[in-house]
A and B are shown apart, each in its own frame.
Chain A
Amino acid sequence: SAVISQKPSRDICQRGTSLTIQCQVDSQVTMMFWYRQQPGQSLTLIATANQGSEATYESGFVIDKFPISRPNLTFSTLTVSNMSPEDSSIYLCSATSGVTDTQYFGPGTRLTVL
């Protein structure tokens, strides 16, 4: 299984600013994903991070708000842009390796927007 780390682990940000979250995997992986977990809620997929091309966003999520990069097979970033208090959530990165749908998750980034 892949070991996934995220930075930062938590942050408190001001309204209107942006935060970039980093996701690092300890081995090359096939797919990387970004999820949001709002307070007391389940996980919702934001987008699939595609290596070398634009991310694939789920309904309700747009690139201008959540730009994503994936420059190689082990690293991805998610930016939360022009933040509002409604963006306060845990953001989780996950990855799959090989031809499998088993996803392994990072520890998450807890974001609070004031």
Chain B
Amino acid sequence: AQSVTQLDSHVSVSEGTPVLLRCNYSSSYSPSLFWYVQHPNKGLQLLLKYTSAATLVKGINGFEAEFKKSETSFHLTKPSAHMSDAAEYFCVVSYFYNQGGKLIFGQGTELSVKP
């Protein structure tokens, strides 16, 4: 069965400091893994996607995530937080369904960035 757990419901960092948002997944086979971001009153934007081509995935806005099979983790990081990074972040796992893929969402992590 596919599932995803975001380990922190809320993370607060200071501007210019590193960001770490943690995600563990459960999958019976090799999953596709995503991080999406949702700014207040906005839709979801794809940050990055893991598809087994490389364990370190670079995304938009300086974010990256590392797939660690031994730890079943897919943590999201950024070296230096910016005020505009304040948003809700979702870790998502997919299993292939027909020609597309159903997505299973984690509960989300709210990132706050202090000046």
A94 to chain B, nearest CB (A): 8
Question: What size tier do the contact residues of chain A reach?
Answer: 20 to 34
Contact call A42/B106, Cβ cutoff below 8 A: yes
Indicate if the CB atoms of B108 and A30 lie closer than 8 Å: no
Which residues in B have their C-beta under 8 angstroms from that of A41? 107
**Given A31-B99, A99-B99, A42-B107 contact (CB < 8 Å):** yes
Residues of B within 8 A of A1 (CB): 46
A81 close to B (CB within 8 Å): no
Report A102 CB to chain B, min CB distance, Å: 6
User: Which positions 18-75 of chain B face chain A at CB distance < 8 Å?
Assistant: 32, 34, 36, 41-46, 49
Is B100 close to A, CB under 8 A? Answer: yes
With a CB–CB cut-off of 8 A, which chain A residues contact B49? 102
Verify if A101 is at the interface (C-beta below 8 Å from B). Answer: yes
Q: Which residue of B lies closest to A103 (CB)?
A: B103
Cross-chain contact A102 with B46 (CB below 8 angstroms): yes
B44, A105: Cβ atoms closer than 8 Å: yes
Q: Least Cβ distance of A76 to chain B in Å?
A: 14
Question: Is A104 part of the contact surface with B, judged by Cβ < 8 Å?
Answer: yes
Give the distance in Å from the alpha carbon of A42 to the alpha carbon of B98 in the complex: 24
Bound together, the chains give a CA A92 to CA B101 distance in angstroms of 16
| Proximity string of chain A (96-114) to chain B, C-beta cutoff 8 Å, 1 when within and 0 when not | 1001111111111010000
Task: Say whether A43 faces chain B, with CB atoms less than 8 Å apart.
Answer: yes
The one of B32, B90, B100 in contact with A31, judged by C-beta atoms closer than 8 angstroms, is B100
- CB of B94 within 8 Å of the partner chain: yes
13 A-B Cβ contacts within 8 A?
A1-B46, A30-B99, A33-B102, A42-B105, A42-B106, A43-B90, A43-B105, A48-B97, A92-B43, A100-B100, A102-B32, A104-B46, A106-B43
Considering the complex of A and B, which 5 residue pairs feature the smallest CB-CB distances, nearest first?
A: A101-B101, A31-B100, A107-B43, A105-B44, A101-B94
